[in-house]
A and B are shown apart, each in its own frame.
Chain A
Amino acid sequence: MYLTNKEEMALKGEYGEAQQIAYRILYAIGNGANADRLMEAKTSHISGVNYHNIGDAGLELLEDMAKTARFVIPTTINPCGVQVSPPIHLNFKQDLYEKQERILAAFAKMGSRGSYTCIPYEYDNVANMGDHVSWAESSAVVYGNSVLGIMTNRESGLSALASAITGKTPHYGLHLEEKRRAKEWVLVDMPLNDEVDYGVLGYYIGKNFKDTIGIVGLRAPTKMQLKSLSAAIATSGPMGMFVQDEHIPTSSYIRFGKEEYNATRAILDKSEEGQAILLGCPFMGYDELKHFAEALTGKRFTKPTYLFTSHSVYESAASEGIIISIEKSGAKVVQDACPSLSYIPELIGATKIVTSSTKGSFYMAASSKVAIELLSLDEIIRKYTA
């Protein structure tokens, strides 16, 4: 991989240890991926924030880096393992709070901004179509590339950290137009009715394909449905982008019909009556909260219900009275914490969880060993409110 004189000097340590470590990471990853050079990244979004995921090893590294490293481009970070913004609805353990707050302090010292979020494209880290960025958080990467037209590889927590410190990212993969064009196609040969159906399709695609996929047969999906599709694709495989095509330019393609749908759904959905409802994986956006508030008018949940979102979305929804109207139903709106990897089921004493998220189904079943009932938001309201 070609380096400019300045990059070469940074790699040798001329600009301090933090720059040197960051360039070493970009060089190792870029060279390994056969990148020809580094390019400028407009923003960065870093994963590996939740203490449950990165543990003491991650905490130690971040505190070491924060001694000298400073972010040079707008940088946001993922949800964490606890709720820090009031009103607090879930009682996480005190020692967990202490460790998590040290991680958040290290990121803040380096210059992260906005709220802790897995939907950085809402409020906190706005990039425009055609912008090259360096984002971790795979669900946001797939949504960003496929729906918003921003350009990013599926970065890791460390490569996105290196980009935040240098403003650079290796030039390969989804930064190249040719890699953003589909070479394989899926024909959707059944009606998809709600966000769960889109999630099941996404899970199937992620599991069976690696590179940019063309999807044919989608009928004007909503933003929420595309978000579900993106998150599910990212859950089951390494893919970073899909494109919606009008027709298939080849005779070879994979058909996704009822049979594929049922087999895939059965992996995630145990269809048992849930004990509690967890929603917002990825975090609920402003439009989803608004839709939810309207659909809930005059209704009350019959099971404990928690919705997860970022502080920025929460503030915006709260200022329009949306949070109050949701909470009239008995549901609680939780900020900052990751619903799927913060052991929420253990915290609320539930072993059977209802959710509308295929991504959440996968991760909650893996981390908390719970049985999942997968239903769309509208179905959940129909079944679990009075």
Chain B
Amino acid sequence: MSTTLNGRVLVGGNASGELIIIRKPISFLGMVNPVNGQLKSSVDNQKGISLAGKILWLPYTTGSTVGAYIIYQMSKNNVAPIAILAQTADTTLASGCALSNILLVDLIDLNKIPKDSNFASVNGNNGAVTFKTIASINNP
């Protein structure tokens, strides 16, 4: 079973991998550790979870525009997400992903993502994102 949603490509590329959903907007400055790629404060009870190498869905980002530089630092430290999906990308998120060449697709509605999805494939040419549920996520 898989579901494909179509979003808007802001930074191109292709990626597939484990999906992490953060339901509330986050500020990369202050809430994410750029050294290890982990969430610092308790967001959605997901404190300590690593964003490194994942496909991240979030509604949008808040807080300082310095968040863009934090995304860049994560990328240089090889702990950035491989793709970010957003409800609506704000300029901090857009410029942070653009700077770091992280695939970014927005206009992806959380309500349309099947509930137990844990894997996504993103086509950065046309904005198609396919969501799946995989039993053994470590060996998809």
Contacts and interface: CB of A to CB of B under 8 A. Distances in A.
A158 B8 CA distance: 21
Across the A-B interface, the 4 shortest Cβ-Cβ residue pairs: A57-B69, A28-B94, A158-B95, A24-B98
Contacts of A248: none
Interface string A15-53: 000000100110111011000000000000000100001
A228 interface: no
Interface stretch (B18-26, B44-52, B99-107, B110-118): B99-107
A21 B72 CA distance: 12
Interface residues of B, number: 27
A58 B10 CA distance: 22
B9 A158 contact: no
A10 to B, nearest CB: 13
A351 interface: no
A24 B96 CA distance: 10
B39 interface: no
> Interface centre among A24, A29, A156, by most B CB within 10 Å?
A24
B63 to A, nearest CB: 13
A284 B88 CA distance: 38
A24 B99 CA distance: 7
Which residue, of B76, B89, B91, has the highest number of chain A Cβ atoms within 10 A?
B91
Contact of A27 (B76, B88, B98): B98
Contact of A54 (B66, B88, B95, B104): B66
A111 interface: no
A61 interface: yes
B99 A21 contact: yes
9 contacts: A29-B94, A31-B9, A32-B91, A48-B65, A57-B34, A58-B66, A60-B69, A158-B65, A158-B95
A159 B11 CA distance: 14
A31 B8 contact: yes
Nearest to A24: B98
A56 B8 CA distance: 32
Interface in A214-238: none
B73 A156 contact: no
Interface in B49-81: 64-66, 68-70, 72-73, 76
B97 interface: yes
